Structure 1
């Protein structure tokens, strides 16, 4: 009796979203999540919203710096 094992290469799902999360206008974020439109983060990065960040998720350092420099 012999057993054959198939080896599948590791693949990464391209629909999981960005490596980092970006600061985006809340209304635009909701519209993107529903309609699939692309949004522009405050750092200039363009992307469609595919998932929501969880506490502790990595944040784009450029977005964070710009956001923290804005007046309240």
Structure 2
């Protein structure tokens, strides 16, 4: 399954908001520098979905596409 995420780095809190079945807004405490926000994003989504999470597109963007699980 692929999901679309709007990442909000450098937020004062960490939160996942479900917008639709495959779209989320994720507030991250980490700054966007040195890949810190991406690592935090993957970590909290892995916990949320209880599955592996892979960044497909958007490494340097706030709008990202991630794959949940192995794609089956």
Superposed pair shares fold, TM > 0.5: no
TM range (shorter): under 0.3
The TM-score normalised by the length of structure 2 is: 0.22
TM-score (norm 1): 0.22
- Structure label with greater radius of gyration: 1
1 or 2, which has the higher strand percentage?
A: 2
